[in-house]
Structure 1
Amino acid sequence: MSTPNGIDQRVFDLYDEYCHGRIDRRAFLGQAAVVTAGGLAMAQALLPRYAEAQTIAFTDPRIKARYVTYPSPGGNGGTMRGYLVQPAGSGPFPAVLVIHENRGLNPYIEDVARRLAVEGVLALAPDGLFPAGGYPGNDDDGRALQASLDPARLRTDMLNSARHLKAHALSTGKLGVTGFCWGGGTSNYLAVTMGGDLLAAVPYYGAAPEAASVPGIRAGLLMHYAERDERINAMWPAFESALKQGGVPYEMHLYPGTQHGFHNNSTPRYAEQAATLSWQRTVAHFKKHLA
């Protein structure tokens, strides 16, 4: 089946397997070459091009960006590093944690933090790979590095990052979170773990939390899903049922014709219309709940 950008859906499906570590780069390229004519070229076109991800320059006068370190007891290394971006001015500002995919703090996620800062938000994008040396500069090595970390301790590093941001001198103490892929699932984890300390959560195509933990959510939930994302979408019916049974308010949007990762503008999975609309909704959601 062909998609609007001409890439065979079977190649997209293989890319999803590759992105989530179920096959390696060689297998992805090799299998893509077999499933359809021109499959290898399609597969190569799906690899990220991070120069295209930058929409807000790191020197933009509307923001101030820097890397910061902070304690992370119980995490993978005891210390974390993140990319902190503030709007120009003295603050304080509402705060949003930006959680990366399953490959560390790459240029796309840093740009998302800058996008939030120009909207008046203090944004922190932690690098979960910092205890293992940090994002290595490419996604293949980043994915392998993240897979090598203790997952529970990695979640603790994200929880500590959220607490650090909430208490930051530039923060109003009103905290939200957004995340993508692994970061979307971790956004759901923070929503159930932090209770009333988290006011808003916007997971993008994130794995659902355990149903029993859902009634603990106090954050305003806005969830974005891709239509062609079987693994993640299969979790939604049970998640929705738990939300309804727990009386947890939520808003969910499913974007027609999109792939997992549709917000990431560094690969052809990017769907401009859906990404733009979802981002408008995300910004409005944070302004509503963190004002």
Structure 2
Amino acid sequence: MEARTETVTVADGSFDLHLWLPERGRGPVVLLIPEIWGVGPYIRKVAEDLAGLGYVVGAPDLFWRLRPNWVADHDEAGLAASLKMAAEFDVPHGVADSALALAHLKALPEAGGGAAVLGFCLGGSIGYLLAATVEVDAVLSFYGSAVPDATGLMEKITSPVLFVFGGSDPYIPRERVAKVEEAAAGRPGIETHVAEKAGHAFLNHEAPQFYDAEAAPVAWARAVEFLRRHLG
């Protein structure tokens, strides 16, 4: 599997876009927007898995204005540092950077077919906000804390969307998840998956304090099926 780093230039600088290519060298693109830990071991493993399924995957360095190529350990100290970094993060900048990263991905010679956005945690929020401004073939938002307070944006989203939440998430209480379910109900193309016993970041196998071995494979299978259905 080939991997390389592209550079995306914006008005106030440039940032890295980490790229993974499928064995056949070409395929639909997936913009993989990372969690607050940055483009670390978990995001890289997800990217490799997606490339193994035939997708061209790009993960942007969200925190380049604060600390280029930020990667935190998946322990309590790393979580505390990541939460501090997230508190200083400018979300509108993150959405704008992600839009440019997506455009860069779609313009690559290896890009063939459609485009999807997949984000975890902070990336789940950014992916959802991005979907209100750009049209893609699929959006997958995993436990995005900004989603429940921005359900009105669903009116602007034309792309198919899959929302994934943990029903026992201390950062996103169940009643807030219910707001998303209510807003999505009856909307064509918008689906929700709630792992009722799981908490936040329950797919992250690098973070034992969050990972749920029972809920994670079920949610990931749902995500892969959603991608194949809408992206090929």
- Identity among equivalent pairs (%): 28
List aligned pairs for 1:65-84, cutoff 5 A: 65-73=3-11, 77-84=12-19
Seen in structure 2, the aligned counterparts of structure 1 residues 231 and 130 have a Cα distance that, compared at 3 Å, is closer
CA distance in 1, matches of 2:201, 2:189: 25
CA contact (8 A) 1:64 1:87 kept: yes
1:143 positional shift: 4.1
**Total equivalences in the alignment:** 222
The residue that corresponds to 1:240 in the other structure is 181
Seen in structure 2, the aligned counterparts of structure 1 residues 252 and 244 have a Cα distance that, compared at 3 Å, is closer
Structure 2: 5+ residue runs without aligned partners? 73-77
CA distance in 1, matches of 2:69, 2:82: 6
1:146 positional shift: 4.1
1:278 counterpart = 2:219: yes
CA distance in 2, matches of 1:182, 1:82: 17
1:121 positional shift: 0.5
The residue that corresponds to 2:115 in the other structure is 175
The residue that corresponds to 1:128 in the other structure is 62
SS at match of 2:109: coil
Structure 1: 5+ residue runs without aligned partners? 1-62
Which TM-score applies when normalising by structure 2? 0.86
CA contact (8 A) 1:165 1:171 kept: yes
CA contact (8 A) 2:3 2:18 kept: yes
1:88 counterpart = 2:23: yes
Rg larger in 1 or in 2?
Answer: 1
CA contact (8 A) 2:139 2:159 kept: yes
CA distance in 1, matches of 2:194, 2:181: 13
1:290 counterpart = 2:231: yes
CA contact (8 A) 1:106 1:137 kept: yes
Q: From the two aligned structures, give the one with the greater helix fraction.
A: 1
Amino acid at match of 2:191: E
How large is the Cα RMSD of the aligned pairs? 2.1
Amino acid at match of 1:132: L
SS at match of 2:196: strand
Which TM-score applies when normalising by structure 1? 0.70
